Amino acid sequence: MSEFFSARSLFTGSEWINETAVEIKDGKIVSISKGHYNASAAFPYIVPAFIDLQIYGADQKLLSEFPDTDCIQKIYAYCLAGGAAYFQPTIASQSVEVIYKAIDAVRAYTTSGGKGCIGLHIEGPWINAYKKGAHNEDVIHSPTVKEVEEIIAYGSGCISMITLAPEICEPAIIDLIQSHGIVVSAGHSNANYETATQFFDNNIKVATHLFNAMSSFLHREPGMVGALFNHPRAMSSIIVDGHHVNYNAVKTAKKIMGDRLFCITDAVTSTSTGFYKHALVGDKYESDGTLSGSALTQLKSVQNLMEHVGVDFTEALKMCSLYPARVMQKKEMSGSIQMGETAAFICLNDSKELLKIVAS
């Protein structure tokens, strides 16, 4: 049986359509038609569901500390509440044993019918200790081919992204990772402008959280930030909570990078065990008084972009849906609303607040 969702304004990912309805059958969008529009039941806005490519935990469970299906289910519930239908559960730099347990958790979640999980995002430990941020320095190292081969083999079909510092990894290792369909993201890197540009020219198409834990833009050494600004294709995530990056810096980056910039939440949760401890202070997380994580949802990212950065509604939506979908290039996750695709959209009120999420 078909379900119909009417919208005063529907954003497909590329255009707005007024007074139309989305028809869903068996989890697929089968029509977008004005003929089924119901004004009395119409939502003010229907837009593509969001995609979060970096989130560490939710509801007092970090994946690196609790690598199990319950933790991933809690992350999914958190994402849904913030308008994201797809997510990459993420672990910061950890031992091989913890990486394997996180892979086990992702595999168990997906094989048991768990929804929304794109795959595991492994952030570190193959990063530059000089730009470690809050990561555990004890496990940070340059990888060997053998180590990478073993992790990839164990995580076959479960690992979707690896953040690494390209300057501490052999180019053959980066090629090896990518040959298995895993997205390599440059992050926690101290690469200079020339080195970063070379990697973006050759085989790395994306970077992790612009400005944070990467070589800064200076007038005599523009660093990785400068390399991203000047590159014609390389994309980057950014954390738009006003704490990780000043909103004026986000505005500058957006003007320069345009559709190459997209949002992640980088969200953590309150924890008191393990290496990564976080306490909620206002609308951010701290560890011993130091900024340690975000309390964002992707819907809050959209709201912050509009209110504090001056990005218009359409472009803010793309930064949380269409653009991260471009990074991952998965057929089942387009960041748009199109006939024949899996139904994944959100219904918003006039204040851009979530009323309903549809995630097949």
Does the pTM exceed 0.95? yes
| pLDDT value at residue 347 | 98
Q: Tens place of pLDDT for every residue, the chain, 360 residues?
A: 899 999 999 999 999 999 999 999 999 999 999 999 999 999 999 999 999 999 999 999 999 999 999 999 999 999 999 999 999 999 999 999 999 999 999 999 999 999 999 999 999 999 999 999 888 899 999 999 999 999 999 999 999 999 999 999 999 999 999 999 999 999 999 999 999 999 999 989 999 999 999 999 999 999 999 999 999 999 999 999 999 999 999 999 999 999 999 999 999 999 888 788 899 999 999 888 888 899 999 999 999 999 999 999 999 999 999 999 999 999 889 999 999 999 999 999 999 999 999 998
- Position 133 scores a pLDDT of 84
Domain ranges of the chain: 3-47+339-359, 50-328
Q: What CA–CA distance (Å, rounded) separates 296 from 54?
A: 11
Is 266 one of the catalytic residues? yes
The predicted structure's pLDDT at residue 150: 98
Tell me the CATH class for 50-328.
Answer: alpha beta
Per-residue pLDDT, 134 = 82
CATH superfamily, domain at 3-47+339-359 = Urease, subunit C, domain 1 (2.30.40.10)
**pLDDT for 109:** 98
Predicted local distance difference test score (pLDDT) of residue 276: 81
Cα separation, 180 vs 198, whole angstroms:
22
SS3 at position 55: strand
Catalytic hit among 52, 138, 266, 288: 266
Place of tokens 């958190």: 78
The pLDDT, as a whole number, for residue 272 is: 83
Predicted pLDDT at 321: 98
User: How high is the pLDDT of residue 292?
Assistant: 85
SS (H, E, C) 131-155: HCCCCCHHHCCCCCHHHHHHHHHHC
Write the CB contacts of 235 (distance below 8 Å, at least 6 apart in sequence).
205, 206, 207, 257, 260, 261, 262, 323, 326, 327
